[in-house]
Homo-oligomer: A and B are copies of this chain.
């Protein structure tokens, strides 16, 4: 059993429309509020070597990335901390606060709990004008498929390439890029936190078109044998790049360094170099 299978259970109960995007979409006066929540914990997210400050930073960054992927501006963060040892709290809160400040959000609330395993849940609230809201739906045949930055670096650290520590320990959500993209006619967007492949399958699930990638175009982390770098970029987790679709006449977008890695096609499949892309990446699994 994996998390995407389980999401179907949730959809049946709370409705499909509440499970489609990186954030929930709520009315807030004449603007849109987007809301998202993310659980991280020691055994699966906070690897050995991370400082408390980095743990706090990462916890805020992952939820801010979801806000960025809707084209919204991070506004508020709530943080629930399940602490195994109380000594961790100050560093964690400082890291979360510094991340929030850097990306324009404020920590406005939270909860302190005692837990056997350090567990942090951040909830992010962002704001965006209705016309600038970007969702996972909206991809259109002929659009370009693009990605910011160099995916695969976080997974590269996990696979032993220690020069990529910052990429995994201190992710930098693409808030400025998301904001610019939302004003530039991007048709669909999400972050690639579970890898490019799973992200495209998520987009496939909510759009009535498909995606065709050209593996030669993937930007690859440096200093890694090419085949492995390609594997990391396509299937690795822990990155917080934006993957998005864009009408060709809107490319390039000023101020948003990104790479065209494929195009949107009418056929409802995900292809790489003309063949079906494997549907795998970062997933939670249960026996």
Spell out A's residues near B (CB within 8 Å): 1, 3, 6-7, 9-10, 13-14, 18-19, 23-24, 26, 28-31, 33, 35-41, 43-44, 75-76, 78-83, 85-86, 89-90, 93-94, 97, 106-117, 119, 121, 123, 125, 284-286
Q: How far is the CA of A108 from the CA of B35 in the complex (A)?
A: 8
Q: How far is the CA of A119 from the CA of B108 in the complex (A)?
A: 22
Q: How far is the CA of A82 from the CA of B79 in the complex (A)?
A: 16
Task: Check A29–B29 contact: CB distance below 8 A.
Answer: yes
Task: Check A112–B14 contact: CB distance below 8 A.
Answer: no
A12 to chain B, nearest CB (A): 8
Task: Check B37–A111 contact: CB distance below 8 A.
Answer: yes
Q: How far is the CA of A107 from the CA of B80 in the complex (A)?
A: 18
Task: Check A78–B37 contact: CB distance below 8 A.
Answer: yes
Task: Check B24–A76 contact: CB distance below 8 A.
Answer: yes
Contacts of A36 in B (CB 8 A): 78, 109
Task: Check B119–A286 contact: CB distance below 8 A.
Answer: no
Q: How far is the CA of A82 from the CA of B6 in the complex (A)?
A: 12
A104 to chain B, nearest CB (A): 15
Contacts of A86 in B (CB 8 A): 1, 6, 286
Contacts of A107 in B (CB 8 A): 14, 18
Known contacts A26-B125, A117-B117, A121-B80; A38/B89 CB under 8 A: no
Known contacts A18-B108, A29-B28, A109-B24; A285/B37 CB under 8 A: no
Q: How far is the CA of A114 from the CA of B6 in the complex (A)?
A: 11
Contacts of A108 in B (CB 8 A): 14, 18, 24, 26, 35
Task: Check A7–B79 contact: CB distance below 8 A.
Answer: no
Contacts of A109 in B (CB 8 A): 18-19, 23-24, 35-37
Q: How far is the CA of A78 from the CA of B97 in the complex (A)?
A: 22
Task: Check A39–B119 contact: CB distance below 8 A.
Answer: yes
Q: How far is the CA of A26 from the CA of B26 in the complex (A)?
A: 14
A247 to chain B, nearest CB (A): 29
Task: Check A26–B76 contact: CB distance below 8 A.
Answer: yes
Q: How far is the CA of A10 from the CA of B10 in the complex (A)?
A: 34
Q: How far is the CA of A237 from the CA of B93 in the complex (A)?
A: 27
Contacts of A43 in B (CB 8 A): 116
Least CB separation from A41: chain B residue: B115
Known contacts A39-B119, A125-B26; A83/B13 CB under 8 A: no
In the assembled complex, 25 residue pairs joining A and B whose CB atoms fall closer than 8 Å, in A order, are: A3-B112, A3-B113, A3-B114, A6-B86, A10-B110, A13-B94, A14-B106, A14-B107, A14-B108, A18-B107, A18-B108, A23-B109, A26-B75, A26-B108, A28-B28, A28-B29, A35-B78, A37-B111, A39-B115, A39-B119, A39-B121, A40-B113, A86-B286, A112-B284, A117-B117
